[in-house]
Each structure stands twice: as structure tokens, then as C-alpha cells.
Amino acid sequence: MNRNLLKLIVACGAVCFIACTAPQKAETEKWSERMARSEMKRFPEPWMIEKAKVPRWGYTHGLVVKSMLEEWKHTGDSTYYEYAKIYADSLIDTDGHIKTMKYLSFNIDNVNGGKILFDLYAQSGDERYKIAMDTLRKQMAEQPRTSEGGFWHKLRYPHQMWLDGIFMASPYLVQYGSTFQEPALYDEAVKQILLIARKTYDPTTGLYYHGWDESREQKWANPETGCSPNFWSRSIGWYGAALVDVLDYLPQETTGRDSVMQILQGLAKTLVKYQDPQSGTWYQVTDQGAREGNYLESSATALFIYTLAKAVNKGYIGKDYIQPTRKAFDGMVKTFTHLEEDGSYTITNCCAVAGLGGDGKKVKKAVFLGLMNNFVLIVVISVCALLSSVQVTEVAMIGWSQGIGSWAEIVGSLFTILAMLTTYWSISLALSDIVEEQLKLSRRICWVIATLPSLLMTFAGLGGFMEFMRLAGGLIAILIALLVVPAYRKASREPGNSLLGKWGGAGMQIMIMLAYFLMAVGNVVTI
């Protein structure tokens, strides 16, 4: 994350802090305004944030622009609203599609930018914003999950939950649920908060580990707990900010709300414990103080100020937290703000990035091994057939046995059984998906509908297993031929989906349809 991100984190935190600590002396310009105007001066076009060369949809842009909207609501100055609207309109096209967002990456960071759209939609009534919000809601409905239902941080980071992800998505989901009457999202947001707390909380320190890998495959994952090794302050800051933002829209009667409140209160108590006594700010690695290489870090400090100030303002924690929050804010200004020659302000000592991620080499290795397995099997079958001294019969293993030994018959028979089972499995899954899509029944019922009739007909002697496989394969090929192109054309219109790119033109689509029709004919017609 670029340092410029912090300018508006501070702004948002300052607004909440100032609001909760009245009375106060009059100022010509509050720190929130100074930082907001500095950011707009630095980046005349909001898509330029983080020194971007072209417009892009990103969580940092969303964070800064959301802060601008908060400043608009706080001051009534429409300049901030217009700045936010410029960003949205540069990234959302006339059909409501979010430009540059790769939907199929299932990156939870994408959702954070959607938080700006609620105010824009309420103010303008522009349906483009609603379509974009629905797209992000759809992403979270389809987001890959852990076995207990926790959102993966990204598709390319399988089995991983990060504290960051709670901030990115949970406040969005509860606000969407509140705005568009989808109360089930309250439970979803609470579920994510409580689940990651259960997985990452350390009772010894009262802190939360940055990430958790359910598979325990990542090199950073503790083999017993799956947690990352350190307490990264900014990730804990993300989590704290998520808690206070979620509570904005979480009805009192929501199951688990009290648990969220308890987590927030416990976190507040812990944060004060690790606050640097001299500066009032916090270290990059929360619990390691002045250890060599560690340093006082501005982004975490800003997020902690935001969490504590808003929690005090909302009555979630007691007024005894005002003093440490004030100390943190004063320390933030004194330690990290820098006045430039042009009159703007910048923030120093901001961590650029401290992500966890996945092992790309492992992914490439898995793909390679998968392809190699298929290649080896094809080679084995071909060699066996060529080495056979007799004509390969309808059941090829007989010929192999006669030609190269009985072991070939055993191996070949096992291979044939596995091939039949996997074929039956894949065809049944395909049929089940089609039934589910059309009838909107439960997945288990669709599985029974897809598998049971063919098995009963086989056991009743009405036809052979292979005949049913051949006919089912032909029918599915016909269905795919009729559906694959319309499905492809629909998917290609999803935001950020390039799919086959230049190879996905009309010629390729026609070839795909012909191939499936030929496959269908080959399954039905005996040559």
C-alpha cells in the first residue's frame, strides 16, 4: 500500500475523534480538512491516487474517496462529494459495469471500493451505482470459502482468511443489507467477524494474528494453528475499523452483536496496553516495541485512532479512552505529519506493504503435475496397445495380457474401472448442475435426480452401463453445444472478465459448437 493512503485515513479518524471530544476551541481548518485538501491538491483526478497512470478500481482508492464523502457529510462542502463522484464515474460505465475489476479473481479487496456507492446512489438515484453495488454483492455470494464458511481473501490465496478482508467486505455487506432490506447479510458479517476472531486471537497478548491458513500449506502458517507468525498492527487496525463500521448498521436484535461488541471492547483495552508511552502511537509489530528493526508506524496508528475515537463517540467504550485517544492523535500529528513547501501535508513512516499471499510456484507445480499425469496415462495406453502382438479386442486389456503379460490386464482393468467411475461422476455432476440451474432445487435433490434413474435402469436390466454412459454423454454434449456460447457471451459481459480475450471471437464460438455436436454424434452413432 502506498503512503498516500494514510492522508485520508487520518482525515476520517480525525473527524470521528474531534466529534467525540467536545467542547473545543474554534479552528480555521481542522486536520481532516487539511489532509483532504492536501490529497486533492496532490491528485487533481481521484483515480490518480497512489500515483496511478490510468483509472483503476482499488481498495485504497475506495478508502480515500470514502473519507472524502465523510468529510462532505461533516462539513457540507460539496467539493468533497464531487471529487468522489468523479472517481466513481471514471470507473463505472453506462451499463453499471466496474471497469478494470477482475470479477473472477474473487478478490475481497474489490468490495471496499463499493462503500462509496451508497452515498452516491442515495444522492443521485443513478442506477449505474446500484448495478455496480449488486455486482459486488454477487461476488461475495460466490466468494470461495473455508470449510466453516469464512471468505477466502482471494481466489489465488486459497483457504486463507486475513484480518484485512473483514474490513473490506463486512461493513459493505451490513450496509447493503440495511439499504436494500437483506437482513441475512447481518448474520453473514457477524459470522465472518467471529470466525476470524476464533482462528487468530492470541489469549496471551490479547492481539490477533494477521492471517489464518486453513490448509496449513503456506510457509508462514503455524503447522498447528494455521496462523501467521506476527501481530501486524495495520491488519489489527483494519479489524478494529471493521468492528466499529459494522456496528453502524447492525440492528440491536442481531444474534452475535453482543459478541462483536465484546471483541471491540477487548481490543480497545489491548490497544491501549501496547501504545507507546512517549509518542502515544503504535509500532509496526504491535507487541515488540523498540526491538531492532521495528518502528512507530503511521497507518496502524491512524486506524487505531479511528477505532477508538469512533467507539467512544458511539458509546461502545467508556470515556476513559478519550485521554489515550487524544494522546494518540496528538502523537500522530507531531510524529508523522509533514508540511510541504506548497502548503500541503504528507504522512511519514507508513508501511508500504506486508501481505501474506500464496505460493505461486506451488500453483504452477500443481498445474504441471496435473497435465503430466494425463500425458503419462496417454503414453502408457498407447505403448501397451503398440506392444500387443495380437489385435486389440473390444476389451483392450485382453489383447494387452496376451501380448505383454497378465500384469497389463490387471493394471488396465483397474484403469478402466476408474475411468468408468470418474466418467459417471463427471456426467452426473454436469447433469446435477443443469437440473439445479433449471429447477432451483437443493443440490442433494438434484444429485439424486441426476444419478438415480440411470442406476435403476441399469440394475433392472433395461440397458448396459456403458450404453447409458454413451447416451448421457451425447445428450450432455448437445446441451453444452446449445448453451455454451450464450453462457460464454453472458459471462464475457461480467465486469472485468476478458475470458478468452481475442481468441473468444465468433469463429472460435462456432468451432466450439461444432466440436460438441460432433462429440454428441460420436456418442450416439456406432461406427
- CA dist 497 and 359 (Å) reads 24
What is the amino acid identity at position 370? G
Q: Which triple of cell numbers denotes residue 79?
A: 467539493
CB atoms within 10 A of CB 515: 14
Do you find a cis peptide bond into 23, omega within 30 degrees of 0?
Answer: yes
Sign of CA dihedral 220, 226, 232, 237: positive
CB atoms within 10 A of CB 290: 10
**Given 77, 109, 126, 164, which residue is catalytic?**
164
Q: Are 116 and 133 in contact (CB under 8 A)?
A: no
Q: Which residues pair with 92 in a beta bridge?
A: 98
Q: Which residues pair with 201 in a beta bridge?
A: 208
Q: Are 199 and 226 in contact (CB under 8 A)?
A: yes
Q: Are 214 and 278 in contact (CB under 8 A)?
A: no
Q: Which triple of cell numbers denotes residue 168?
A: 473490506
Helix (H, G, I), strand (E, B) or coil at 338: strand
CB atoms within 10 A of CB 376: 10
Helix axes 117-124, 127-142, angle to 10 degrees: 150
Helix (H, G, I), strand (E, B) or coil at 213: strand
Q: Are 35 and 11 in contact (CB under 8 A)?
A: yes
Q: Are 257 and 189 in contact (CB under 8 A)?
A: no
Q: Are 279 and 296 in contact (CB under 8 A)?
A: yes
- CA dist 4 and 51 (Å) reads 9
As a whole number of Å, the end-to-end CA separation of the chain is 62
- CA dist 496 and 102 (Å) reads 4
Provide the CB-side half-sphere exposure for 425 (13 A, CA). Answer: 6
Q: How, if at all, do strands 207-208 and 201-202 pair? A: antiparallel
Of 45, 40, 50, nearest to 353 (Cα)? 50
- CA dist 355 and 222 (Å) reads 16
Does 164 participate in catalysis according to the annotation? yes
Residues that are catalytic:
164
